[in-house]
Structure 1
Amino acid sequence: MGRAPSRGLLAAYRRLMRDEPRAPRLPTSPGFWRSPLRGPRFTSVLGLVLLAGITVLFVTGLLSYAAYNPDLSPVNDKTPDKGILGLYLFAWPTNPHWLYRLNQGVHVTLGITLIPVLLAKLWSVVPRLFALPPARSLAHALERISLLLLVGGGLFEFVTGVLNVQLDYVFPGSFYPLHFYGAWVFFAAFVAHALLKTPTALRNLRRLREERDDLVSPRPAEPTVSRRGALWFVGGGSLLLFATTVGQNFGGPLRRTALLAPHGGAEPGSGPNGFQINKTAAYAGIDTAETAGDAWRLVVTGPAGTVRLSRAELAGLPLHSAALPIACVEGWSTPDQWWRGVRLRDLAALAGYEDDPPDVFVESLQRRGAFRKAALRANQVADPRSLLALYVNGEELSPDHGYPARIIVPAAPGVLNTKWVARMTFGDL
């Protein structure tokens, strides 16, 4: 008699288990994805944010590429097979002097800020990535292929960008061609996706009630947060990344907030030469014996012949000052530093170009690394603020900042501001 209740409970449990539908084990089943947060409106909000943000990223990326003047000389061009992708190139201006600093700061800071939005968007549409059949028609097959390029290209661009910002050069090749060609593949897929989905996203936001679609789980789990709360969480993550990155583009106290940036935190030194450095003299293989006053000579070549100038002779020429920043492709920059040296156009005059300064080809003592040689366009040479700098902030350049002489040009990427200059050849390139 005592066993009857236990047998009844066991039978009831077995009936309950038979009636309870089992959770699908494969991600290809719609019921596998049970989050109640997924839905067309949630995805649409994230998609529209990315639509605006990625468009800005692409434009600032193209401008950053143009700033190198890759069509001027092969030494500036890390993508020689670009073909029609370089048709938009133009002579990069020197005004305003903070142009590259602003452009690259926006590009890198915005890219990092959008990471939580991108990850949330991919999470919100992940059921569609596993949907079967993979192609229901030719049009659907083309859409799935574009989606593959979109997701793969987006992850590739953001990952390579973050690695470059963090100075982790673990790429299978040079960052420049990988990021450049990857950007075109990704943006082509992005444009196709935007043309297909933006009208739907706008309709989803205008609807008073959300319609069910394949993103909504047929058996959703109990919610632990609202969709609005999830959006706030994503926005908070973006704000945190913004706050811990943006300071690398500014000097002073804000730099200390850039905890996630290699060039964030305190300045690397004190005094006039204490501002940020990307490449030290030791890393570049600079031998102090070559830069000593008695050994070093600047070789200037042009139609008038070859002139060799010691540092003392350069210091005896008319010197000029300019307040200019250094800004690098990784997104970090310095505030304006006071540089003092010989104008590039005055050196062009010594080489035989007194009235109309031409392009210049600059060579460094640097032993290894990219941009040991660089080319500057005529408009950059002609700008009165473009200097062969001998001093910064009232003192001689330190070895890490390019002693005995370095190039400084307004609005130019940092790698074109060649340090440890050894030779300058003026003429049409």
Structure 2
Amino acid sequence: MGDRRQRTGALRTSLPLPTDPAFWRSPVRGVRFTAVLGLVLLAGIPLLFVTGLLSYAAYNPDLTAANDKTPAKGLLGFYLFDWPTDPHWLYRLTQGVHVTLGIVLVPVLLAKLWSVVPKLFALPPVRSAGHALERLSLLLLVGGALFQFVTGLLNIQLEYLFPGSFYPLHFYGAWVFFAAFLTHTCLRLPRALRVLRHGLPTAERDGLASPEPAAPTVSRRGALAVVGAGSLLLLVTSAGRSFDGGLRRTAVLTPRGGAEPAPGPNGFQINKTAAKAGILPAWTGRRWRLTVVGPAGEVRLSRAELLAMTQHSAALPIACVEGWSTSDQWWRGVRLRDLAALVGHPVDPPGVLVESLQRGGPFRTVGLRDNQVRDPRSLLALDVNGERLSPDHGYPARVVVPAAPGVMNTKWVSRLTFGEL
């Protein structure tokens, strides 16, 4: 019994700990492998960050509290600007790139994090002020990357998982992550480029390659090929949700991929059904009236009265924050600026506060800027693709605005208040 205890104790003391470089035995790890992955992220993450900020600007959060899901943003909102209506596919492009790129970079990010794990356990924890800054940036980078990618992917796959909180979480998290990314890039990029050009000096240890590597099962080039193949697979199985036809059917790993939900003019993708929004048929029946408010008073219009007004058409897509979009659909209805003229704004109408019959949830009320109201393609749509709106597409009336996020194209509209923002 005593001999067995001695052997067990000796075995335990001989096993290396994560703080010992010998603990990490993969022959794939090395500064060159990490540098290649880092350069891919260096190209992708700034674009991911910029398109994310553009998405936030598209909501016009400074316009009204109804749009601002990230209060007290302070100095971080310095870049916000009036979101344009041209080109009409702008949000479809920027958000499609943002979400698709985020998905495609997942294998690269995971491989990069795996490659630098030994650095997180290296001792001593701090050797100098510069080393302390590098370790801090690395910890924030790893934590921020995991937080941003995990919450983003969950929001894509499981809608409304973070009701009312996703926007501030993702917005503040993005700034922390990108600040750490910039700091780490400034500290490590010169060395990474030097290693890629000239290799690692023989006398210099990279802190990543194992001093006692196990037998190789795949080369470093092979490992990079696996990462690249994973990203390509995610691209092929997710990007199609931003297109129609055969490409959409390839997007099997993301919501709004596959076949269209139904045949016919109303058979294109939707975000929220009438049932999910709690819309009762009695609310949208013959008693429904649109209330339009402005300085000249209040007007209440039935659907028949709206149809009797001059009708206009516009070909516009629906593009959602989750990254999916439709192609241009032909919408027909009354221009928002014509409705503004009815209540005292015949020239240069102001912004409008749009209210939905929906009783709860984010963006039940939305503010649109004056440039959005004045655009001749901005409609209170009554029909789509030659047929009246279906309940799921917003019957009896919905707003459609060029280049605006899908949630700004309010469905089941009940009230328009011009100038009250």
Give the TM-score range, shorter chain.
over 0.9
Matched, 1:235 2:256: no
Most deviating of 154-163 and 209-218: 209-218
SS of residue matched to 2:291: strand
Tell me which of 336, 340, 347 is aligned to 1:348.
340
Which residue type is aligned with residue 82 of structure 1?
K
Name the CA shift for 1:115/1:23 in 2 (closer, same or farther; >3 Å).
farther
After superposing on structure 2, the runs of 4+ consecutive aligned residues of structure 1 that deviate more than 6 Å are: none
What is the alpha-carbon distance in structure 2 between the residues aligned to residue 137 and residue 417 of structure 1?
A: 54
What is the alpha-carbon distance in structure 1 between the residues aligned to residue 368 and residue 26 of structure 2?
A: 55
CA contact (8 A) 1:248 1:261 kept: yes
2:400 maps to 408
Tell me which of 94, 100, 103 is aligned to 1:103.
94
How far apart are residue 27 of structure 1 and its match? 0.9
2:329 maps to 337
Normalised TM-score (structure 2): 0.95
What is the alpha-carbon distance in structure 2 between the residues aligned to residue 257 and residue 392 of structure 1?
A: 26
Name the CA shift for 1:76/1:346 in 2 (closer, same or farther; >3 Å).
same
What is the alpha-carbon distance in structure 2 between the residues aligned to residue 394 and residue 170 of structure 1?
A: 35
CA contact (8 A) 1:23 1:31 kept: no
Tell me which of 405, 408, 415 is aligned to 1:423.
415
CA contact (8 A) 1:374 1:416 kept: yes
What is the alpha-carbon distance in structure 2 between the residues aligned to residue 325 and residue 167 of structure 1?
A: 23
Name the CA shift for 1:173/1:338 in 2 (closer, same or farther; >3 Å).
closer
CA contact (8 A) 2:140 2:180 kept: yes
SS of residue matched to 1:125: helix
Matched, 1:284 2:301: no
SS of residue matched to 1:75: coil
Name the CA shift for 1:415/1:170 in 2 (closer, same or farther; >3 Å).
closer
2:240 maps to 247
1:266 maps to 259
What is the alpha-carbon distance in structure 2 between the residues aligned to residue 41 and residue 197 of structure 1?
A: 12
CA contact (8 A) 1:24 1:31 kept: no
How far apart are residue 139 of structure 1 and its match? 2.8
SS of residue matched to 1:50: helix
Task: Provide the identity percentage.
Answer: 75
CA contact (8 A) 1:60 1:104 kept: yes
How far apart are residue 192 of structure 1 and its match? 0.4
What is the alpha-carbon distance in structure 2 between the residues aligned to residue 184 and residue 214 of structure 1?
A: 29
1:55 maps to 46
SS of residue matched to 2:292: strand
How far apart are residue 168 of structure 1 and its match? 4.8
CA deviation string 1:369-404 (max 9, x = no partner):
110000000000000000000000000000000000
2:76 maps to 85
CA contact (8 A) 2:51 2:98 kept: yes
Name the CA shift for 1:180/1:209 in 2 (closer, same or farther; >3 Å).
closer
Q: CA RMSD in A?
A: 1.4
How far apart are residue 170 of structure 1 and its match? 4.0
1:8 maps to none
CA contact (8 A) 1:40 1:210 kept: no
CA contact (8 A) 1:41 1:210 kept: no
Name the CA shift for 1:391/1:171 in 2 (closer, same or farther; >3 Å).
closer
Matched, 1:312 2:304: yes
Name the CA shift for 1:280/1:168 in 2 (closer, same or farther; >3 Å).
closer
1:399 maps to 391
CA contact (8 A) 1:163 1:169 kept: no
Matched, 1:27 2:30: no
Aligned length: 408
Tell me which of 77, 100, 116 is aligned to 2:107.
116
Tell me which of 155, 169, 185 is aligned to 1:164.
155
CA contact (8 A) 2:334 2:381 kept: yes
CA contact (8 A) 2:398 2:411 kept: yes
CA contact (8 A) 2:274 2:394 kept: yes
CA contact (8 A) 2:134 2:187 kept: no
Tell me which of 142, 148, 158 is aligned to 1:151.
142
SS of residue matched to 1:74: coil
CA contact (8 A) 2:315 2:329 kept: yes
What is the alpha-carbon distance in structure 1 between the residues aligned to residue 258 and residue 152 of structure 2?
A: 21
Which residue type is aligned with residue 290 of structure 2?
L
Name the CA shift for 1:398/1:168 in 2 (closer, same or farther; >3 Å).
closer
CA contact (8 A) 2:311 2:334 kept: yes
How far apart are residue 368 of structure 1 and its match? 1.8
SS of residue matched to 2:66: helix
CA deviation string 1:272-295 (max 9, x = no partner):
0011111011111111111102x1
What is the alpha-carbon distance in structure 2 between the residues aligned to residue 329 and residue 138 of structure 1?
A: 41
What is the alpha-carbon distance in structure 1 between the residues aligned to residue 299 and residue 24 of structure 2?
A: 73
CA deviation string 1:159-186 (max 9, x = no partner):
0000011025444961111000000010
Tell me which of 374, 379, 400 is aligned to 1:382.
374
What is the alpha-carbon distance in structure 2 between the residues aligned to residue 34 and residue 23 of structure 1?
A: 15
Which residue type is aligned with residue 240 of structure 1?
L
Matched, 1:221 2:214: yes
How far apart are residue 223 of structure 1 and its match? 1.1
CA deviation string 1:9-51 (max 9, x = no partner):
xxxxxxxxxxx9x974311100010111111111000001001
What is the alpha-carbon distance in structure 2 between the residues aligned to residue 364 and residue 171 of structure 1?
A: 21
What is the alpha-carbon distance in structure 2 between the residues aligned to residue 80 and residue 188 of structure 1?
A: 21
How far apart are residue 319 of structure 1 and its match? 0.3
Tell me which of 64, 76, 93 is aligned to 1:73.
64
1:10 maps to none
Tell me which of 14, 30, 34 is aligned to 1:39.
30
CA contact (8 A) 2:383 2:389 kept: yes
Which residue type is aligned with residue 349 of structure 2?
P
CA contact (8 A) 1:344 1:388 kept: yes
